[in-house]
Amino acid sequence: MNKFIRHIFIDKLGMAVSMVCAIHCFTFPVILSASSIMAGSASFLVLNETFEKFMWVLSFSLAFVSFKNSAFKNRYYFPILLYGLSICLFIVHKMFFPENHQFLMPLVGFLLVAAHWVNFRLIQKNSQCKI
């Protein structure tokens, strides 16, 4: 797989994972209230803290790899700025507002999606072939 295809793949995967995280965090209060009705493995994935930590690590890792490679190649740092802002909001959420899951965490996810989208468009603009 050449570098261009790999960068596009990482950005698309990062957008998907970040969007799933944002939707999960946005709908978490509704799902939590309905969790007494839910039974089985679906509630395990939705309400499991280990699963959430895994998704956070995956989202931030994919973003770091993707934005680092693009920033060195293209000298365009706006995706890294959005990434840094999302990390700052994540830290603020964990330190000061851990019980308000539905307010800051969707914003963190949507900032990561926006950063991936900007990076994806930048890679397409600066490449020889378009996907």
Rounded-to-10 torsion of CA 106, 5, 130, 81: 40
Q: Which two three-digit tokens encode residue 69? A: 């490679």
What's the pTM value of the predicted model, to 2 decimals? 0.71
**pLDDT tens digits in sequence order for the chain, 131 residues long:** 566 667 677 777 777 777 777 777 777 666 666 665 555 555 555 556 787 788 888 888 888 888 887 777 777 889 889 999 999 998 998 888 877 777 788 888 888 888 888 888 887 777 655 44
* Residues present in the chain in total: 131
Q: What is the pLDDT of residue 45?
A: 55
74 — phi, psi (to 5°)?
A: -100, -15
Q: Which two three-digit tokens encode residue 101? A: 């899951």
Q: What is the pLDDT of residue 81?
A: 92
